[in-house]
Chain A
Amino acid sequence: MLTTVLQFAFFMFSVALLLNLLRFFRGPDLLDRILALDTIYINSLALLILLGMWHHTSFYFEAALLIAMLGFIGTVAAAKFLLRGDIIE
């Protein structure tokens, strides 16, 4: 049962990623793209965790952790750029 459910989840997340991609391209504003990017990051993270369960290994979790952290930093940087132009001041 778990196998089936994981496959189902893989499918759902893949579709979600593709939908994010659509928004990413459609825009219309830069902010929409940033938001889409952030979502892509989070969905990828979820995929990694699912992959970890699928292969029954915890090797991927550091990568997932880094995605969570760095995705956040990237989003902050982009948003700050739009707000202030200069991200380190």
Chain B
Amino acid sequence: MYLALMVALPFLGAIAPLLVRHHSRRTISYAAGAVAVVSLLLLGYLTPSVLAGEVPQFLATWLPQLGLHVAFRLDGLSLLFAALILGIGLLIIIYAHFYLSQHDDAGRFYACLLLFMGSMLGIVTADNLILLWFFWELTSISSFLLIGFWFHQSNARRGARMALAITGAGGLALLAGILLIGNIAGSYQLDAVFAAADAIRAHSLYVPALLLVLIGAFTKSAQFPFQFWLPHAMAAPTPVSAYLHSATMVKAGIFLLARLFPVLGGTFEWFTIVTLVGLATMLFGAYFALLKNDLKGLLAFSTISHLGLITMLLGLGTHGALLAALFHILNHATFKAGLFMIAGIIDHETGSRDLRKLGGLRKAMPMTMWLAMITSAAMAGVPLLNGFLSKEMFFTEAYQQHLFGGLSWFIPVLVTLGAMLSVAYSIRFVYDVFFDKAHELPKQPHEPPIMMRVPVLILAALCITVGIAPMIMVSGFLTPALTSVAGADAEVYIALWHGFNLPLLMSVLALLGGIIIYLQRTELFNFNRQFDIRDAKDVFAGIVSRVTRFCDNLMQRIETGSLQRYMAALFILVLVFVIPELMNISALTGSRPQLDVDAISLSGAIILMAAAFGAVIFHRQRLTSLLMLSVVGLMVSLVFIQFSAPDLAMTQLVVEVVSILLMILALFFMPQRIPRSSTGGRVARDILIAGFVGGVVGSITFALLTRPFSSISDYFLANSVPGGGGTNVVNVILVDFRGFDTLGEITVLAIAAAGIHKLLNNLRPFMPSGDVDGRAWHQVKHPMMLQTISQLVLPLALMVSMYIFLRGHNLPGGGFIAGLVTAAAMILQYMANGVDWVKERFNYNYQSLAAIGVLIASLTGVGSWLFGANFLTSWFTYLDWPIVGKFEIATAILFDLGVYLTVIGATLMILANFGQMTTRHRPRQEGH
């Protein structure tokens, strides 16, 4: 429970800085800091049990049918990362308080930061792979917000977009990989997955799953060849870089590798891919780090390099390598976060991050210099600092591996080369900034506020103490972490001194070589200048634009805007699926006795068919064709009545007329006749498709109607009164059994209507001044007799609709039909009396009517929570009042009221606004 609370707290707490965003900066920072502190305390509360070897777990089922659970665990690995995330997060919050300028929106910053913190915590504590993935994507999103925090800068936006695109794409690959793993293991719960490790490794889908997971991890951890997004993410505010790109987000990929190492690791594929990618990334990052002139750029590439180092260790996969990897994760987070903060301090106090412009700051910022020297030395791997220890272990592992047979000696050599470069850029970071000769700077440099240095101070102190006394400081943490990665009997032993051996020689070589490389760096710069290295940003932009263009072309070919084409595609697909099934049944006619043909049915059928053909034949004269359609609609509703479905018939009737009204409205703006444009072949094709589809659908209907057919309707019939308190099953289904569906539908209806309303807004349509034969329109706008009678009709219609609405629960009717009837009556007023007349008497905006409707329906649903029932559970009872007698009240009627209002609002929003479109623009030349 505390565990879940710890993860949830940053998410809930993200609101806190926003709530106080109008207060002083101090309050906002306190609010954010308090959240981190409380989470940290919770972690501290849980720590002893983890160190004692327990694994606190939390499980709440969410969608058990899909294997989805909200499940958290806090094993050693999680603890290590959670401590990093929360601890460094807290330091970052302190640091950011001083770093952000007065113009920055601190509330938004801290909210995003906390959101990110929660997502990271979620990743490292998730006990369910899908949940892990969910938090993984959340980090992508929240880091997007953080990188793009200064969204007025185009490079911030671009960097954020790139990071999102790359990590998001990687996330999709990861999801695919996770699904494969879950499928093989039969569960997404980590324990089950761990238990099925052997089966997974032996499975034929192991390699695809591994590759997909690796793509996810490598994109997140900026491994080669996906490293390019990280330098561009440096457009973020420095606290963000310090947090995301040193300690946390880029470590998520590493975490994933470590988390899944027991499942996926140890195979040939694993160590080949992971080791080589790690090695390549390490060298690549180190080389470019040395070349960068931007302080943060240097740090970004060095981060890539160090991540490569850790990845390589995980790839090697031996006991010692895993320990070294975990240890280096810890060390890298401490010194790199410190270095980023120092870069931020320098930027903040001097106004520049360019190594060519900076220099000689040792006099102005002595304290900062010392901190920079300590952290850089840790990064370079100088003895007595934490970086030295993990690097030494790394050298040992690199030297001891025999992965590539006779060529294995390549690896220690390359590793030493990487370490030399690492030393060189560390020297550059310190020397070029604090020594060298001073330059003219945008600001007079001076020491930053004390509290801005304190977080760095803490981190530097950690570098030293861990470097001197590793066993005391971290072995307690590392033991359970190693246990959860490497297996049961993990033993942590970190020694300061191993004696004179090869790894030590490698360290010495690295230091000496690094100094030499640094001294000769101009040569290297000149050497590098001859390569035309294209900016990753441009390459990325090129790829994006090429993909976009390809998709555009594809879209133009598929989405032609031709309705015929879409319909043809859809219908052909229907035919493909349905025809085989129809051919499977032995006879079309089923066993049910057939009804006799009577005169009404016969003439109805004749009219139906004739009108349907008529609609096609007259399709070039639009109004005629519309009239034909309305005959079809009328006949269909008579058919519904014939087959005892009065609800359906009423709905069909109203919908029919309302849609005809809509089409007549639209007709005004369209040519009245369509020129003959289709070629013969096309017509033949369309006739063929339409004929086939009609025949097939007819056959299905006939086959169904002539067979004894048991459906779920029996259930509804039996439960309508006891379960929903209404005798009209159709209505009870709509407002009760499937009320959630209806809620969704009316929401969609309201949204669609709002969309149409918005589209119609400010549209200036062409308005013909006369009809198709060139006759001018009649002068009288609103014939008086029509006016008079329609006003008389309105109360009648309203009464009818009220009646239909109220009795809906028990007899044919309901909110939907009633709403349409009311809307139709209102439309009649618009037609007979004009927009202005209606506005004078009923000035209400339909958008809010629809919104209120949806709101009422939703609140009715929510209301059932108050009584401890599920969403939208309806409640009803029978009251016995004197005089009135016994009657039923049900909450469903409230829900139906919501439906009623939404339908009125949406229909009128569309129709009335469509009509008003002309009124607004028509010059008022004639009265009546």
Q: Do chains A and B touch in the complex (CB under 8 A)?
A: yes
What is A's interface to B at a CB cutoff of 8 Å? 10-11, 13-15, 17-18, 21, 24-25, 30, 33-34, 37, 40-41, 44, 47-48, 51, 59-60, 62-63, 65-67, 69-74, 76-78, 80-89
If A63-B637, A66-B821, A67-B653 touch, whether A37 touches B830 (CB-CB below 8 Å) is no
The answer to whether the Cβ of B174 comes within 8 Å of any Cβ in the partner chain is no
Q: 11 A-B contacts, Cβ less than 8 Å apart?
A: A30-B623, A37-B627, A37-B631, A59-B811, A66-B650, A74-B661, A77-B831, A78-B664, A83-B778, A85-B767, A87-B915
| Min distance, Cβ B632 to any Cβ of chain A, angstroms | 11
Most chain-A CB neighbours within 10 Å: which of B600, B781, B914? B600
- Give, as a whole number of angstroms, the nearest-CB distance from B511 to chain A: 86
| In the complex, B607 has a CB within 8 A of chain A | yes
Q: Distance in Å from the Cβ of A26 to the closest Cβ of chain B? A: 11
The answer to whether B607 touches A21, judged by C-beta atoms less than 8 angstroms apart, is yes
Known A-B contacts A62-B813, A74-B630; A89 and B781 likewise in contact (beta carbons under 8 Å)? yes
Point out the residues of chain A lying under 8 angstroms from B919, CB to CB: 88-89
Mask, B809-846, CB within 8 Å of A = 1, is 00111000000010011011011101100000000000
Asked if B42 is at the interface (CB within 8 A of a chain A CB), the reply is no
On chain A, the residues within 8 Å of B777 by CB distance are 83-85
Are A73 and B667 touching (Cβ within 8 A)?
Answer: no
B646–A59 contact, CB under 8 A? Answer: yes
A73 touches B828 (CB 8 A): yes
Is residue B668 contacting chain A, with contact meaning CB distance below 8 A?
yes
Contact among A24, A65, A70, A83 with B657 in the assembled complex (CB-CB below 8 Å): A70
- Rounded to whole angstroms, the CA-CA distance of A78 and B627 in the bound complex is 9
Chain B, residue nearest A76 (CB): B831
Closest to A34 in B: B627
Q: Bound complex: CA of A85 vs CA of B769, how far in Å?
A: 9
B-to-A contact residues, CB < 8 Å: 598-600, 602-604, 606-607, 610-611, 614, 623-624, 627, 630-631, 634, 637-638, 641, 646, 649-650, 653-654, 656-657, 660-661, 664-665, 667-668, 767-768, 770-771, 777-778, 780-781, 786, 790, 793, 797, 800, 804, 811-813, 821, 824-825, 827-828, 830-832, 834-835, 911-912, 914-916, 918-919, 922
> Contacts of A13 on B, CB cut-off 8 Å?
600
| Chain B positions within 8 Å of A15 at CB level | 603
In the complex with contacts A33-B627, A70-B654, A10-B599 CB distance below 8 A: yes
Smallest CB gap from A22: residue in B: B610
Docked CA distance A15–B649 (Å): 23
| A89–B917 CA distance with the chains assembled, in angstroms | 8
Q: Which residues of A contact B813 (CB under 8 A)?
A: 62
Q: Specify the main secondary structure of chain A where it touches its partner.
A: helix
Across the interface, which residues of A come within 8 angstroms of B781, CB to CB? 84, 89
Q: Does the CB pair A33–B800 fall under 8 Å?
A: no
Nearest Cβ on chain A to B622's Cβ, whole angstroms? 10
Q: Which residues of A contact B832 (CB under 8 A)?
A: 76
Contacting pair B664 A81 (CB below 8 A): yes
- Smallest CB–CB gap between A17 and chain B, Å? 5
Contact A88-B646, Cβ < 8 Å, known A25-B614, A69-B800, A78-B664: no
Give the distance to chain A from B658, nearest Cβ to Cβ, in Å: 8
Contact partners of B912 in chain A: CB under 8 A = 88
